[in-house]
Amino acid sequence: MKIAAPLSSATEVEMLLHYGADELYCGVRTPEWEEHFGGQVWMNRRSPQGANLGSWGDIQQVVNLAHRSRIPVHVTLNAPYYSQAGMDYLIKLAEKLISELEIDGLIVSDLNLLMRLAGEKLPVNLHLSSLASCINSRAVDFYQSLGIKRIILPRQLQLSEIKYIVTQANSSMEFEVFAVNDGCFFEEGFCQTTHALGGPFCLTDWEVQVHRCDGDPISKTQIGDHLAELREYMWYQNNCGSSFQQDGLPNGPCSLCWFGHFRDWGVTTVKIVGREASFYRKMRSLQVVKAVMDEVKTGGAGEEIEQFARSLRATPQYCDQGYMCYFKDR
């Protein structure tokens, strides 16, 4: 299995490669897009500021540095949907990224954009973003018929579902699963907020009024208890407040325990989430993923890998509560 690491600056490339990234993925933003569509219409799923490369020179530098070490670079064009004008622009951008920079892959989610790209027969690998919510084998077959080479499986899938989908698929299909960070599965195709106005909708401290359909009153205590439980859950899912262990490794949801099983099932790549994260978090996330991956490559059994991964977590109580695991059927 390979490790896909995120980046948002050309200055991050060399250190990510040094710490063991096998692939890099990044987003882009261009002045032309912002001029035509405005700052609230994003070119991809992450905020234009802080999560994307901001100039053609940056993209060129990233590709040059990565290709020098024979590391592929994949570019995200994975907003959930685009206007016709937006797709026209992205087709031209994709052609330029491929012909001038020789990027290795495009990560897409909008079905219309995917079909347009497939129809152009561009010499590039097409990867299906988790935002497309490919959640069963029939969907895998459908997307493969459109030319998709790799499917990034969304976080709402459970272990039993991942195993079935991967083991039943055509051997030529690649699969990528999330490794660490950002456990909220509503970030996938089932979240219709853009996170552009005041931060994530689910984390905003809303003033809530609740009314029963039959008119009976609901106590503020009941509402408060539910909201407190939700906020505790979201704290875990959003990387435990972006906190770190005393040894510097990041807290946050993960699938580290299951790497051995992923290997046995035929998963191709594990993905570190967080293009918008600080470089320190990216580096530390890569370190912990690489440590577990090195154990996987020794050929140990899945249970041995699980035990090793848990030993890296200084907060086993977080794992025991279940909020730190992507999977609820573990």
pLDDT score recorded for residue 151: 98
- Residue 150 β-bridge partners: 127, 174
Task: State how far the Cα of 48 lies from the Cα of 116, in Å rounded to an integer.
Answer: 24
The two three-digit tokens of residue 198, written as one number: 């005041």
Confidence band for 196, pLDDT divided at 50, 70 and 90: low
pLDDT greater than 90 at residue 76: yes
User: Tokens standing for 318?
Assistant: 């977080």
> What is the per-residue pLDDT across 103-148, written as a single tens digit (0 to 9) for each?
999 999 999 999 999 999 999 999 999 999 999 999 999 999 999 9
d(CA 153, CA 166): 10
Question: Mean pLDDT across the stretch 159-182?
Answer: 94
The mean predicted confidence, pLDDT, of the chain is 87
Residues sharing a CB contact under 8 Å with residue 198, sequence separation 6 or more, in sequence order: 204
The alpha-carbon radius of gyration of the chain (Å, integer) is: 20
pLDDT score at 62: 97
Q: 175: pLDDT confidence band, cut at 50, 70 and 90?
A: very high
Segment 283-322, tens digit of pLDDT: 999 999 999 999 999 998 989 999 999 898 877 777 777 7
Domains of the chain: 2-200+238-321 (3.20.20.380)
Which of the residue ranges 64-68, 215-219, 303-307 would you say has the lowest mean pLDDT?
A: 215-219
Residue 204: pLDDT band by 50, 70, 90 thresholds?
low
